[in-house]
Amino acid sequence: MRALLISGHLVDRPGRTPPRFPQHRVPPVAAAIGRAMEEWDIGPRTLVICGGARGADLIGAELALRRRAAVRLCLALPPEEFARQSVDLPGTDWHTRFEEVRRRAEVRQLPEGAAKGDEVFARANAWMVEQARELDAQPRAIVVWNGERGDGPGGTDDLVARLGYSLDDPRLRVIHPATGPAGA
């Protein structure tokens, strides 16, 4: 079985300045993730590993399930707390989408006490990379990322660093949330 990691910026809360991944960019980002999955033939022999947050994680999980790939949600926190911090966005359907993916995916939770505060998200990144490498020595990754440091520990930049791939590595697909695939 092959492994595919999916991660990326959260869809912005209203008023985020500067915008990083505005809600109106979800359809083109989803299309770019879908094209990468098509190119890499993601399907029944693939395990997609992601954190389950609104944005890249849930988009990728939904697309993977449509392609009949297995999906593993690796939650950094208990589901209700995780949803409050990383999923819920008033006036959107992200929570409903999270619950649907959670119902259809294998769900694992980082053991409580594995990290404190925001460090839990960095620990979750390391945990997801470890799981992907246990399954596939050369896992592929799709990241929705503007190429900058995140707002705190455990952002997309942290996951890319943990993978150790250069940005032009063919195993890594970077999709800029404002403009599309890197170089597009």
CATH number at residue 71: 3.40.50.450
d(CA 177, CA 168): 18
Question: Mean pLDDT of successive 10-residue segments in the chain (184 residues)?
Answer: 94 92 95 97 98 97 98 96 96 97 97 74 94 96 90 82 94 90 54
Report residue 99 as tokens: 């619950």
Range 130-169 burial, b when 16+ CB lie within 10 A, else e: ebbeeebeebbbbbbbbeeebeeebbbbbbbebbebeeee
pTM for the structure as a whole: 0.93
Q: Domain tally for the chain?
A: 1
- Could you list the residue range(s) of the whole structural domain that residue 17 is in? 2-181
| Residue 6 identity | I
